[in-house]
Structure formats: C-alpha cells, structure tokens
Copies of this chain bind each other. A is one copy, B any other.
Amino acid sequence: MAVHRAHLVMLAERRILGAETARLLAASIDGIEADYVLPESLPEGVEDLYFVFERELEARAGAENAAFLHTARSRNDMDTTVFRLALKRALSTTAGSLLRAIRSASARAGEIGGELTVLYTHGQPANISTVGHYLSSIALELAEDLEELCRAIEAVDRSTMGACAITGTGFDVDRRRVAALLGFEGLVVNTYQAISTSHWLVRPATALEDFLRDLLRVAADLFHKSSCEVGLLVFPDALVQTSSIMPQKRNPVIIEHLRIQAGLALGASAAVRELFRAAPWQDVNEVADAPVTSLLETLSLAESAAALFAEIVSKLRADEDRAREIAADFGVTTTELADEMVRRAGVGFRIAHRACAAFARSGGDLKALRETFGELSGRELPFSDAEIADILDPAHFVEVRRVEGGPAPEGLRGARAELERILGRVEAALSARATREVEAARELAGAWRALLSRD
C-alpha cells in the first residue's frame, strides 16, 4: 500500500496524472484500506494478491481511471521494492537480536569479568587471564560481524522504483521522491542493475554467515572449557543434561544445540547465496519470492542461535579454583617469572627463559632455579622465595598485564571502549534508519492528505 501511495503522490506532483484522477485514485485506495476484506482464497484465474487489489480498485475508481495508477511502473520494480522493504525490516529485527546477544556477553563480563580463567592456544593451556578478557574478545569478534551485517542493510535500503521493467520509463518521474517517501536511504541508480542485482540478498546472507561461523568457533571453545575434564566454565543445572547414574556427568547440551542451530542457519543462508552462481546477469527469479522467503526463514533461525548464545553467556560461571589448578599443573605463569628476571634481574629474555625452563622441569624446585640462574648469568637471583611465589601467583600474572587490550583492568578499558564504539555505531545506524522510516511515513501521510485536498 505504501508503494501505491508513494508512487501516486509522485505521479501527481510531477503532473503525470491530473489532480482529479489522482484524487479519485487516492480516495479509492483509502476506501479499500478502510473497508475491503481480502478474500480467503484467490478467485479463479487470478494469479496473485496484486490483481485482487487491482480489480477492487477498478470496481471503485472505474477501469479507465484505475489503469492510470500503473503508469510508469512495472511488476519488476514494485516487486523488488516490496521485497526490499520486508527484508530491511526483518534484518533490523535480526540485528537487534544479535546486539542483545552481544550485550549479554558484555553484561556478564561486568558481573564476573574479574574472575580468573585459563586461556588456550592450539588446545593447550597457555596463559592465565580473566573471564572479562575472554568474554570481551568474543563480544568484539561478534560485534565486528554485527557491524558488517548493519552495513549489509545499506545494500537493501535502496529503492528500485522507477526502474520499471529494466530501462526506466519515458514519463518524467522523480525516482528520488518515491524513494524518500518510502523511507529508503537511496536509489539503485542504473535501472538495469536495480532489477538484476543480487547484493541486497547476498550481502546480508554473507554477513550473517560470518556471524554464525564465529558463533560456531565460540561454541566449540565454550564446549571445551565446560567439558568435565577442563571444567573452567560451569553451567547451572537448567542448561545441562545430567545423568542420574553418573552425577559427575554434566552434558552442556545447550552448546550442542547452539552448534547445530548455527550450523543449519549457516547452511540455509549459503543455499540462497549460492543460487546466484548459476543465474545470468539479468532479472531472474532468484531475486524473487522463493529465495527471499528462504532468507527470511534463515534470519529467524539465526535469531534463535543468537538467543541460545545469550542464554549461555548470561548463565555461565567461572571456576577459579580450577583455573589456579590448571595454571599450577601446567606452569602457565612461569613465563611471568622469566619476564620479571629480565625486568628486575637485568638478564636477557633467553637466559631468563632457560632458567625458568630448568625450574619447570625440576617440578618447581627453587634450588634448581637459583643454581641454573647463577650458572647462566654469573649472578645471584635477586628474589626471595616469597617474592618468587608472588610472581608466580596467577593474580600477579593478570595484574601486570596492563598493556592495551590485556587482561588487567587498565588493559581491558581500551577493549571495552572499542566494543562501545562499535556497538555505538551499530545502534546509531539502526536508529537513524528507524528515524528515517518514521519521518518518511509522516511525509507520505502529509503528501497524501495534500493529494486528497488538492483541486
């Protein structure tokens, strides 16, 4: 209906239709909207809903007049415009849902971000860090994906009205006026491109897949961290399938569900995207009903996956004792002792590394450490036993990592600011779009009233 109205307003404003015809058509359209009830099934011989509308318009305005509404437009540009409006709306909803999921991770970092955990490389415990550092990395990675998705909406948010079949029209239409009345950000300028392009489907699909693929990576890591042998992350009973006979067994089945939901959504999106591999550079049915519907369904699937993720991060707890235990077992803080030797004992990194390696191999024997240090450096190790214990403490490891982006509070400040910048841009873009749409609706309503009252 908005498309009919915006088009009619423009036709009247450009005097392509006479004021009287335009007013009559406008009144009939208002009438249809006010009291016409769509039939439950299509009448015999009528191809789609559009023709039902057209018949009703003919009945009210007369066939001759009704025909004028179709001046300078075509099924091609109307269809892609309607599809773009629907997809734009759905994508804004999806973006909102992804945003909430990322905010959940960020909020949870606020709650338990200072707790210690162990982070891994190549499946092996590597460094001690904090839950906040870890959740921040996830939130940032997903936020970057979300920002891409928001940019992809720009490819959708362009009007194709006035492209008609593919070459535009000889009528002196104003394409930008129609676009503005419909709340679009801009035009697809070239009329052939307007009808043929796949970017409004492919860009959102691709961005969504990138988000989902990262979600799969995160799911795999959460699965590992919450496995019973690792046990760094813990879930409440509600998210875990327990076995009555094996009470230690806590199957975080929700993460498996996330993996499958995200995986299926990823595949469904790729299915739409790959259609264009076999579609020539023309107006093809690949830019029509079936693929659009598929993509809309995929968005719902992706929203469920995002909701599962939000549920998971909101509920996860960290087991700090387990983190300290792994840190001790694998000597993950020993590198910090080496660093302190460089900083405070004035030896090079490689000497410090060798002394610490000997210490580690000895199973933490301080005497071995002092001896090797002496042999390698010709000096005495200037740390007391208590100082060494402090240096090796996981909390110390985190505390000194104040470097930008590191796990200490000073380090994380930068990462948190970066996240806020990205999410801020996302929110600004979403709200600018919403505002533009509201204003366009107001503008259209005003122009419509003017049309009805013009003489």
Contact = CB atoms under 8 A, between A and B. Distances in A.
A405 B168 contact: yes
24 contacts: A66-B350, A68-B342, A70-B349, A122-B253, A124-B228, A124-B251, A125-B249, A138-B281, A141-B196, A168-B403, A168-B404, A170-B400, A188-B405, A198-B214, A220-B279, A220-B280, A245-B353, A247-B360, A248-B330, A260-B286, A266-B277, A267-B267, A267-B270, A267-B272
A58 to B, nearest CB: 9
Interface residues of A, number: 155
Given A169-B339, A268-B271, 20 more contacts: A66-B348, A68-B349, A121-B284, A122-B253, A124-B249, A134-B192, A141-B196, A167-B397, A168-B411, A188-B405, A202-B210, A202-B213, A245-B335, A247-B357, A248-B329, A259-B279, A264-B271, A266-B271, A267-B268, A267-B272
A76 interface: yes
Interface stretch (A171-179, A423-431, A435-443): A171-179
Contact of A133 (B171, B187, B192, B329): B192
A303 to B, nearest CB: 16
A199 interface: yes
Given A217-B198, A285-B256, A404-B175, A349 B141 contact: no
A246 interface: yes
Given A260-B275, A267-B275, A286-B260, A404 B162 contact: yes
Main secondary structure of the interface of A (DSSP, over half): helix
Contacts of A206: 206, 210
B270 A271 contact: yes
A278 to B, nearest CB: 5
Given A213-B277, A217-B279, A403-B162, A122 B284 contact: yes
B329 A120 contact: no
Interface in A322-365: 326, 329-332, 334-336, 338-340, 342-343, 347-354, 356-357, 360-361
Contacts of A280: 123, 217, 220-221, 224
A68 B345 CA distance: 13
A191 interface: yes
